[in-house]
């Protein structure tokens, strides 16, 4: 079945710097790639997503890039702020019968933005 690997597991950056989180997936038929932010004790919040017919998508300080050939996608956060500190999860959906509805999540990246 589909497998999603996420790196790094922890990331510490200085306020104002950029942060990049990467995910790889195994099913080449996957077609939807969301990113979620989860603050301590709160729900996962959808922050950006991309579909397989698009290579890049940007929303203010957040961007996601997708390389379908290499089967990896990345989250880019620019001008980081302390409130960006949270756990970030990538997820994958789509593909053939087995994975057509469910989201498969990476193991998460704990981002710490130092003031």
Query: Is 113 in contact with 80 (CB distance < 8 Å)?
Result: yes
Of 21, 50, 104, 113, which lies in the binding site for another protein, with binding defined by CB under 8 A?
Answer: 104
107 near another protein (CB under 8 A): yes
Return d(Cα 77, Cα 104) in angstroms, integer: 22
53 near another protein (CB under 8 A): no
- Rg of the chain taking only CA atoms, in angstroms: 14
Nearest distance, CB of residue 11 and another protein, angstroms: 16
Cα angle 101-105-110, degrees, rounded to a multiple of 5: 155
Of 44, 75, 80, 84, which lies in the binding site for another protein, with binding defined by CB under 8 A?
Answer: 44
Tell the burial category of 101 from Cβ atoms under 10 Å away from its Cβ (0-12, 13-18, 19+): exposed
Nearest distance, CB of residue 51 and another protein, angstroms: 10
Contacts of 40 (CB under 8 A, 6+ apart): 86
Q: Given the complex with another protein, which of 18 and 58 has the nearer CB atom?
A: 58
- Stretches 10-18, 63-71, 74-82, 92-100: which one binds another protein (CB under 8 A)? 92-100
Q: Which residues bind another protein (CB under 8 A)?
A: 6, 32, 34, 36, 42-46, 49, 89, 91, 93-94, 100-108
């Amino acid at each position: 079945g589909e497998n999603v690997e996420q790196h790094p597991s922890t990331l510490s950056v200085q306020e104002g710097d950029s942060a990049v989180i990467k995910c790889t997936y195994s099913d080449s038929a996957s077609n939807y790639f969301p990113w979620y932010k989860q603050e301590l004790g709160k729900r996962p919040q959808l922050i950006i997503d991309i579909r397989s017919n698009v290579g890049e998508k940007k929303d203010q300080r957040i961007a996601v890039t997708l390389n379908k050939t290499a089967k990896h996608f990345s989250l880019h956060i620019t001008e980081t702020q302390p409130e960006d500190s949270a756990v970030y999860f990538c997820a994958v959906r789509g593909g053939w019968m087995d994975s057509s509805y469910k989201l498969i999540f990476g193991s998460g990246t704990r981002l710490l933005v130092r003031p």
